DNA sequence: CGGGATCCCCTACGATACTG
DNA sequence: CAGTATCGTAGGGGATCCCG
């Protein structure tokens, strides 16, 4: 049989099915700046629990977007990095960041604080001190 | 006081706070092809309930991303369209669609069916019949 | 250090029915 | 046609303890 086994209304839904988790875009965003260890991600993403981080990372690994590199040693060392396929999301993720940045300023003005701001976004305007 | 009233780890979180709903990206995506009535969106988005559609649209209106145009007449007629600010999401939404399209093919091959495919995406490759 | 296993809560979401 | 109101539920997500 050649019937479709999967039906989407739009391809956007296919995107959301993979990237739609609460923390996934944030994880991926951080990985666009290089491979990261579990602990690093925990520190970067204040608010996430170990369980959620592990779970979401696992789903991203299954989807072929993130690679998990485990060094067999003790204490354990595990690194996560984007696969080649995963890198195709970089532009998207950085656009999200830029839009969020503009939106945050639009809504909160100078009463918002963004802890991690990549170099690129900072370039948008060089408002001196 | 000038303390920040809002703190994000990254601006991506600010993006997700506004666009992160289950149906919001899909709604917005459809609106990038012109204003739509409630019933049209219901038909385009098989699976969504009236309640969720109304709710998510309401939040988008509050965020200033979507405009609600109500014609006072009976039977009622209400249209939704992107605000000027909302249009700033178009590139992002279409990138999501393109990525989802590629991903769906990568995962399901020809066993996936996408009901609504915008002209642009179809252009990616003209694989004849 | 990284991450399983459990327990539990809560809210996002769905189904249904009703109104202007 | 567009939108409420109500109720019920699944599962996303948090806290905690434990293990290699």
**pLDDT tens sequence across A84-100:** 999 999 999 999 999 99
For nucleotide D3, the protein residue with its alpha carbon nearest to C1' is: B54
SS3 A78: strand
| pLDDT for residue A126 is more than 70 | no
Which nucleotide's C1' atom has the smallest distance to the CA of B75?
Answer: D1
Cβ contacts of B30 on chain A, cutoff 8 Å: 10
| pLDDT for residue B125 is more than 80 | no
Q: What is the pLDDT of residues B48-87, one digit of tens each?
A: 999 999 999 999 999 999 999 999 998 999 999 999 999 9
- For the whole model, what pTM was predicted? 0.90
* Nearest beta carbon to residue B14 from set A13, A103, A111: A103
A94: Cβ contacts below 8 Å, ≥ 6 apart: A29, A32, A118, A120, A121
A16 touches strand C (CB under 7 A): no
| pLDDT for residue A75 is more than 80 | yes
**Cα gap A114→A116, rounded to integer Å:** 6
């Amino acid at each position: 049989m050649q019937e479709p086994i999967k039906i989407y209304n739009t391809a956007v839904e296919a995107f959301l099915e993979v990237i739609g988790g609460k923390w996934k875009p944030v994880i991926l965003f951080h990985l666009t700046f290089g491979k990261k260890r579990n602990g690093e991600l925990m520190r970067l993403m204040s608010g996430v629990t170990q369980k959620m981080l592990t779970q979401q990372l696992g789903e991203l690994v299954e989807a072929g977007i993130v690679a998990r590199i485990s060094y067999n040693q003790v204490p354990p060392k595990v690194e996560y990095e984007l696969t080649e396929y995963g890198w195709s999301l970089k532009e998207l993720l950085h656009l999200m960041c830029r839009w969020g940045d503009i939106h945050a300023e639009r809504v909160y003005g100078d009463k918002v604080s963004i802890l991690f701001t990549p170099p690129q976004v900072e370039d948008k305007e060089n408002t001196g001190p």
